[in-house]
Structure 1
């Protein structure tokens, strides 16, 4: 389909890549990765035909279609959303209109004439195209894609210029998917999508009839959509087969091999140089010295490019809060006649890592503003616990920054006990390096200021962090630093994020906002998905069935003539995976509950007050009941999996 041969590209004086060769096939499912500034977006533009090479060439199969989605910058106007998406099918609509005069011509022309043959050929060609594209279901196709990308039916008839830049990018993505080109080139397609839309896009790409190349900072998205990784590294293109997780493993192995080869080569070079230095002026060794000089000149030196240093930043730990951080009971919130939250009740305990998920408009940002004190409930109780110090990071946090302050000066005042070296390392991780740290905050873009605002919160955190979309505008490296830092944080965190890898690696509970209510799910994102897909109900049903069988014990059946054993019923693979995942969760949860039991028993040994003793006793009873239930569930799952493995 498409081929790069000896390709090279410069950006000013910087060489991005050279001697790059890449054959892109019809079934391409590839992610383009690399450090910031290595040329990923530039290479995608070259493949799309919007930029050229400085060296080498690009060969495209004649007639192939390419669809390109940039990171941002697309603006649509003049039509409704639905009308804009239908423009993708203008050629088909034109063909459809052409069918009527062609049919009239076929009815009036002489069947033996050349005009009749030409009209018949054209009619057959158009009819084939219309049937191939299912022209009579175009409206349904548009509706399906728009719904999948988060547009309500009311949005379909709104003018495109009424939507923000992020939603305009969604419209552009919808048009590309409807156009269905032979090769899709998508630069950060998930940037403006919520969780539901990302899940839908993943499923759509899995069945996409053409090929696609992606750039994305969503690790989960890459893991489930691609089977090959192309990395721009050391000024070349390097191929890894498998998803992103396998790429990381293979890259580590490849670098280890390169470092080993480098050490061996250095030892050989040093040996040659030592021989040359030792015998350079001995006539009897002149021939041997010259031989080694020539050998030294012919050696192609192995270079190991500097890797971005992994930054492990640790929060300055805050003062501890009380055991209960937030209590919410019967909370309602409305704006005018619009009811956003209805009868919401939950408790947040010290050390919780809570992911707040839900569709756009479900009330996630409203709830986090209420918890931070930025907004007040219409009715109900929202009570912060003892010594709780809340810090709120909004999606537009940059608006509260001093535009005249220099970045390094501002963050130094926020964290006077943190060294300048550590501060510059942290800022570098958030893509501010070199002289960038001396820029005035007012000259930064909105995305840059939000990145800085997040780094600023990290160096002087309160004990209750409320983060609304902290992973926006962050690359994979910065997300890893943020994830590592929050996992080491001793306070409490509630956060909104559309990055499923980030949620899965951080959350201990998931709060889902839906229909004005908040549903609480224990565990991380995978546990939440498992429960949403009916895993918990299926296990509860199986446990109930097992319990019922244990209570009513029938009389032993009378012996029957021996029969051939029937083969055991094979377990559905999806069900089997759910059971295995749940077993892993239960196995990890039991030691945690046992630790909590031990801690409660220890606390009971220290008398504080009668009320505290009563509370700890009730807590201990609840933990023991939970431990008993988990142990029973573990035994049931282990038995079911053992039976299924015997099939």
Structure 2
């Protein structure tokens, strides 16, 4: 469908890539990855044919005739003049024109003589257009637009609003919706998840899995890449390297390739040193002249293996804060309104020391409002919010850059915050957040909003309080910076509550999930996967299964008759008849011997059921298996009861 051959591209004097070969097929599902500055976005623009970038400096780019390309840049798109729905519907202008022509033809057919040649021509034209219209699902255009807009987080009231009323992030969502509705032969999406919440991101994952054509993605969201692509193209060492599999497989394959490259480099280096030593030793001996010349020619023909300098892996650890009390926050009957709009209503929960809580919910549900209330940056309309003993809170807002001193130099500013951290370590940390070289001497006022937010996050890392409130800290971060932040939070001994739309980040950190929805906060124990399982009905299914199992008749393997316990005047200490104690111990040992035998019998029966012999045999084995499982349930219950009684004794 599209092919790069021997391609090269420069950005000013910097060579981004050279000798690049890449065959892009019709069913391409690929992620384009690489370090910042390697040229990923530039390569994407070259593929898209964006005029501002121009073509290749050398090499060729061939496209299949008739293919269509849809390109979504990182930002910079602005739409105006139409409602959201009409803007998205505009991608079907060709089909809408067909529909209008069919209406005109319908009128003409009703007026023309059925026996005339004009009628026959109009009927043929109508039949041809109608077939095309149906093939493109033209009778369901409104439904297509509604499905995509809803999936990307637009409410029905948003559909009639003018596009210019929306912020830059929502403008990018509209642009993405238009591309998805167009269904070009090749989708080129540069950071499509930057402006999406988790719900919209999950919807996009599902949409791409069923997308009928090919797509190439640039993304810093590991989970998103793992579930949407089956090939990774990496820009590394000014070359294109192809890996088959998702992002997780790419990481392991790259490590293997790097080990092979280093081994080959070591072998080649030893061989070159051996040749050079021979040449140096026998250069001036006439009897060895032929061998020396042979080795000189061999040395000249060797294509030297180069190992580019890798970015150092930074392992940053929070300076550990003073411990807080066991209870960090108590919230009771908390409500928050903005005029007539009530965002939170009668919310109650407790946060304990060491919790790492992910706040989730659709955009506008009140996540940022709740974080501001917890930080003290805003006050509740009603209710009680009480911080625990020795709790020191620090808050990272989405617009944190606004509180920075614009006249301060970056390295000086962060050094004042972290007096005990060496400058080299501070520069390494800033490098992880994409500030390297002379960038660290820039004044904060000259940085963009995204750059200042990245710096503000790095600044929080060097002097954390014991209660961190982070509102979308992963925005504007690449994979390397996310890893630094993730590792630091994992090793942090304090308490963290955070908002993020990065599934991988949430999966690795969260110990509890607070869902903000309909003015309430719903608390879910466990991580994000547990939250999804419970939301999808897993907890209800488990409870139903447990209740059903409790009603199954229990077959007791060997009931034990024991005498009544001797009454004791000491209520604080339970005494047990020695005869009963011995009987319980013997029975416990017997049960522990029976359980593995029963498990083996269940396993053998399950294996036998897997090999079909006859319907009668299958029925018999099913009955045997059910009886064995009932015995296992009975034994397990008996074992737990015996253990409990023995512990009390």
- 2:99 counterpart of 1:101: no
Once residues 123 and 2 of structure 2 are traced to their aligned partners in structure 1, the CA distance between those partners, rounded to angstroms, is 35
Aligned-residue offset at 1:61: 1.0
The answer to whether 1:300 aligns with 2:353 is no
Stretch deviating more after TM superposition (483-492 or 328-337): 328-337
List gaps (5 residues or longer) in structure 2: 557-614, 623-639, 645-649
Rounded Cα–Cα distance in structure 2 between residues aligned with 1:441 and 1:467? 21
* 1:231-262 Cα shifts (integer Å, max 9, x gaps): 01111111111110011011101111111111
Q: Residues of 1 paired with 2:19 and 2:392: CA distance?
A: 56
Deviation digits for residues 586-626 of structure 1, max 9, x if unmatched? xxxxxxxxxxxxxxxxxxxxxxxxxxxxxxxxxxxxxxxxx
In the TM superposition, what is the alpha-carbon distance from 1:510 to its structure 2 partner?
0.7
Deviation, 1:347, is 1.0
Cα distance change, pair 567–513 in 1 and its aligned pair in 2 (3 A): farther
Cα drift, residue 109 of structure 1: 7.4
Corresponding residue to 1:195 among 194, 198, 205: 198
Residue deviations 1:137-182 (CA, integer Å, cap 9, x gap): 1111111111110011111111111100000000000111111111
Q: Which 4+ runs in 1 deviate beyond 4 A?
A: 103-107, 109-113, 115-121, 550-553
Give the superposed CA RMSD. Answer: 2.1
1:287–1:75 CA distance, 2 compared to 1 (3 A): same
Q: 1:567 to 1:190 in 2, by over 3 A?
A: farther
- Paired with 1:344 and 1:311, the residues of 2 have a C-alpha distance of 40
Report matched runs for 1:450-461 at 5 Å: 450-461=453-464
Q: 2: distance between equivalents of 1:530 and 1:76?
A: 39
Aligned to 2:27: 27
Of the three residues 327, 331, 339, the one matched with 1:328 is 331
Deviation at 1:521, TM superposition (A): 1.1
Shift of 1:537: 1.4
Show the counterpart of 1:223.
Answer: 226
Is residue 9 from structure 1 mapped to residue 9 from structure 2 by the alignment?
Answer: yes
CA distance change for structure 1 residues 181 and 121 in 2, over 3 Å: closer, same or farther?
farther
Correspondence 1:264 to 2:267: yes
User: In the TM superposition, what is the alpha-carbon distance from 1:350 to its structure 2 partner?
Assistant: 0.8
Aligned residues: 565
Q: Any idea what SS the aligned residue of 2:342 has?
A: strand
Match of 2:602 in 1: none
> Among 63, 67, 72, which residue is 1:64 paired with?
67
- How many Å separate the matches in 1 of 2:16 and 2:523? 48
Deviation at 1:123, TM superposition (A): 3.1
For residue 412 of structure 2, the aligned residue among 386, 409, 413 is: 409
Residue deviations 1:557-584 (CA, integer Å, cap 9, x gap): xxxxx94223989xxxxxxxxxxxxxxx
What is aligned with 2:380? 377
Tell me how far apart the structure 1 counterparts of residues 437 and 548 of structure 2 sit (CA, whole Å). Answer: 65
Aligned to 2:617: 564
Aligned residue number for residue 592 of structure 2: none
After superposition, what is the alpha-carbon deviation per residue over 1:530-581, rounded to whole angstroms, capped at 9, x for unaligned?
111111111121111112225799xxxxxxxx94223989xxxxxxxxxxxx
Deviation at 1:333, TM superposition (A): 1.4
Correspondent of 1:466 among 469, 475, 488: 469
Q: Where does residue 126 of structure 2 map in the other structure?
A: 123
Look up the match of 1:49. 49
| SS across alignment from 2:445 | helix
Matches of 1:105 and 1:153 in 2, distance apart?
37
Structure-2 change in CA distance of 1:282 and 1:568 (3 Å): farther
Q: Secondary structure at the match of 2:619?
A: coil
SS at match of 2:618: coil
Alpha-carbon offset, residue 342 of structure 1: 1.5
Closer, same or farther: CA 117–290 of 1 in aligned 2, 3 Å = farther
Give the match's secondary structure for 1:270: helix
CA distance in 1, matches of 2:555, 2:337: 51
Tell me the CA shift for residue 102 of structure 1: 3.5
Q: Distance in 1 between matches of 2:466 and 2:373?
A: 17
Deviations 1:386-419 (CA, angstroms, capped at 9, x unpaired): 0000000000000000000000000001111111
CA distance in 2, matches of 1:216, 1:359: 21
- Cα distance, 1:105 vs structure 2: 5.5
Structure 1 residue aligned with 2:241: 238
Structure 2 counterpart of 1:275:
278
What does residue 171 of structure 1 align with? 174
How far, CA to CA, are the matches of 1:567 and 1:116 in structure 2? 73
Change (3 A) 1:232 1:120: farther
Alignment partner, residue 594 of structure 2:
none
The alpha carbon displacement at 1:84 in A equals: 0.8
What SS does the aligned partner of 1:565 have? helix
Higher-Rg member (1/2): 2
Match of 2:390 in 1: 387
